[in-house]
């Protein structure tokens, strides 16, 4: 399990010099099974970037967007379900690469539907260019959108899209 957290200034100074509370958006980043092996795992498909490097990039990107991310990885479906259920109290959105559970897990789909939190689904590879069993996503129907095929950029683009959605729906 990896974890990354950054807290940025909660107070920004307005034009009139008065500090005002800015809305700090907190996003839970969930990585599913085998993504802990990134860097070494099938680099021809997933690239050479490690999960720790992806999490660091997301922390920096969130910082730029006046937001905060907390990332976790698990190889266990129930652990991911628990994380989604617990997210409601602490986060405003979920960025998820459910790995192989994307194509198999009604439980993850139901957890996302239950918490009713804006969720963006991301994949490093283009799942529609790969084996047919990867063409169906149980997550897609409960996500606000999906980004697939841009490598590490899928996470970055997904984070931007999620934060933009949260900001503009409040
Ligand atoms: C993946 C695609 C899935 O089909 C696969 O099982 C993964 C990674 C991706 O990021 O491209 O583990 O989610």
Residue 10 neighbours by CB distance under 10 Å: 12
147 lines ligand 1 (CB under 6 A): no
The pLDDT tens digits of the residues spanning 65-98 come to: 999 999 999 999 999 999 999 999 999 999 999 9
pTM: 0.87
pLDDT of residue 155: 98
**Nearest residue by C-alpha to atom 7 in ligand 1:** 99
pLDDT of residue 23: 73
The pLDDT tens digits of the residues spanning 102-119 come to: 999 999 999 999 999 999
Angle made by CA atoms 30, 86, 20, in degrees to the nearest 5? 85
Least Cα distance to 33 among 88, 5, 72, 83 occurs for 72
The pLDDT tens digits of the residues spanning 114-150 come to: 999 999 999 999 999 999 999 999 999 999 999 999 9
Residue to substitute in 100, 139, 155 for testing ligand 1 pocket (most ligand atoms within 8 angstroms of CB): 100
CA atoms within 13 A on the CB side of 104: 7
**Nearest residue by C-alpha to atom 12 in ligand 1:** 99
């Amino acid at each position: 399990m990896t974890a990354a957290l950054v807290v940025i200034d909660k107070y920004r100074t307005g034009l009139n010099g008065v500090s005002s509370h800015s809305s700090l958006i907190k996003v839970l980043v969930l990585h599913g099974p085998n993504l802990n092996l990134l860097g070494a795992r099938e680099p021809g498909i997933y690239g050479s970037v490690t999960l720790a490097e992806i999490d660091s990039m997301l922390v920096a990107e969130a910082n730029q967007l006046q937001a905060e991310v907390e990332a976790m990885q698990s190889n266990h479906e129930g652990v991911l379900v628990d994380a989604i259920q617990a997210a409601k109290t602490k986060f405003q959105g979920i960025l998820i690469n459910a790995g192989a559970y994307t194509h198999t897990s009604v439980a993850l789909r139901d957890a996302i539907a239950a918490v009713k939190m804006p969720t963006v689904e991301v994949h490093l590879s283009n799942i529609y260019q790969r084996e047919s069993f990867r063409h169906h996503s149980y997550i897609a129907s409960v996500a606000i959108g999906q980004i697939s095929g841009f490598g590490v950029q899928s996470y970055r683009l997904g984070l931007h899209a999620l934060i933009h959605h949260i900001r503009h729906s409040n």
